[in-house]
Structure 1
Amino acid sequence: MNTISKDIKNRLFKTWLEKEPIAEFENWVYSSTELKDQMDSDSYYEFLSFNYKKTNAISDLKNLIELQLTQPELETWNLKRHLINVKERNKNCIESIRKFYSLNCKGYDFMDSLAFDFGLKLEVPYISQNVVSFEELTEVQKEKIISDFYPEIQDEINKVMSWLENENIVLLGKSNEFGKLKYIDNRTESQKAKKNYTVEKSWWEFWK
């Protein structure tokens, strides 16, 4: 696989996120000398010969784009996708917020604030809504919880996004011997500082 520039990968990422019309991406592929120069000939031909007007073209195009990525890059893109979903409050932002808690538990402990200040309140809604599980929440209750997250959650997302962009956090796309997701932590000590999280007594009483 040839090395392609960050600018090209950003363009691929934008298309992968469906932030750019597929017709614009098609025109760019045909006209971009940089893409031709930097991408290996077989991959470049795949983009040139791709049928951008077929049914489900975007889904197949995403698969084609993913072939240009290493596993760490793909994992980073997936995390950024969830962060952007929540920052922009897209329709699937609830699942992305829940994902923050899951990823923290799986090893991405640099996401502790997103996990415990926000994700946990959806995973354990008894704390604020007096129900046992997320599945018991009404749409009104979900909207109330989510609305209370903003704008604070966007500040946390900006922080994590900056760590990824500046390579303060570098995802490795693999797990350690204990099954925990691995990453390189280049943050300063102040950036690594964690909050002391406590769970309300009523939650513990409920589970006794």
Structure 2
Amino acid sequence: MKILQDLKENVFKVIEHYMPLEEFELWLYSSDELINLMNEDVVLEVFAFNYRQSDAGYQFRKAIFKFFKEDEFLLWKVKANLRDLITNNNNRDRILYDFYYLGYDGYYFLTSIGYYMYHIEDVEYSGNDLKAVLGELRHNCEKLLSEIEKQELDKPGFRLEDYRSEEKQEYEIPVVTHKWWNFWK
């Protein structure tokens, strides 16, 4: 159902701070379709949630996120963040920081995007042109987003860890010139 997909999208937006919790609550209570789906656990939980508590954002994530797959959220997050980097929204530094650390969590293809936080910091010291660095970042984000979306279409059930770069990764196999077991010679 489209309304459940909209609910998931809006939950992800709240978790990733694209939508304020208050706006989500207004959207929720204005949806007649969701009111008719109270037999769904996630729908019942979002209607029963206390949006007025002091740490509502944290509690919302804790209570609602368990109804969704982390893989789905991560794929949505990376695609949404890439789109934001392409359009040059105000949350660039946070996204680059996230991508840098996601690279260390096994999503190595995001590390090169995350490294742009250092390229941007070094602009004033290196004499590089900020517009050129941001243009290169935008180009790399467009390319990565395009590759992810293509692979998502080609492979049903695609997860972010299934991503494979279209560029050939050429690694040189190191040539052993000195065998360690011959150290006494």
Give the structure-2-normalised TM-score: 0.62
Match of 1:95 in 2: 97
Matched, 1:20 2:19: yes
Equivalent positions of 1:1-208 (< 5 A) are: 5-38=4-37, 40-80=39-79, 83=82, 86-87=85-86, 88=89, 90=91, 91-99=93-101, 101-102=103-104, 106=106, 108=107, 111=109, 115-116=111-112, 118-119=113-114, 141=122, 147=130, 149-165=133-149, 167-168=152-153, 170-171=158-159, 182-183=161-162, 192-194=166-168
In 2, distance between residues paired with 1:184 and 1:121?
21
Q: CA deviation at 1:84?
A: 5.5
Q: CA deviation at 1:164?
A: 4.1
Contact 1:29 1:35 in 2 (8 A): yes
- Structure 1: stretches of 5+ with no match in the other structure: 129-138, 173-181, 186-190, 198-208
Q: CA deviation at 1:85?
A: 6.4
In 2, distance between residues paired with 1:78 and 1:192?
21
Q: Once superposed, what is the RMSD of the aligned Cα atoms?
A: 4.0
- Relative distance call for 1:82 and 1:99 in structure 2 (3 A) is farther
In 1, distance between residues paired with 2:125 and 2:80?
23
- Structure 2: stretches of 5+ with no match in the other structure: 172-185
Work out the number of aligned pairs and report it: 162
Q: CA deviation at 1:73?
A: 0.8
Which structure would you say has the larger Rg?
2
Contact 2:97 2:114 in 1 (8 A): no
Q: CA deviation at 1:70?
A: 1.6
The alignment-based identity, stated in percent, is 25
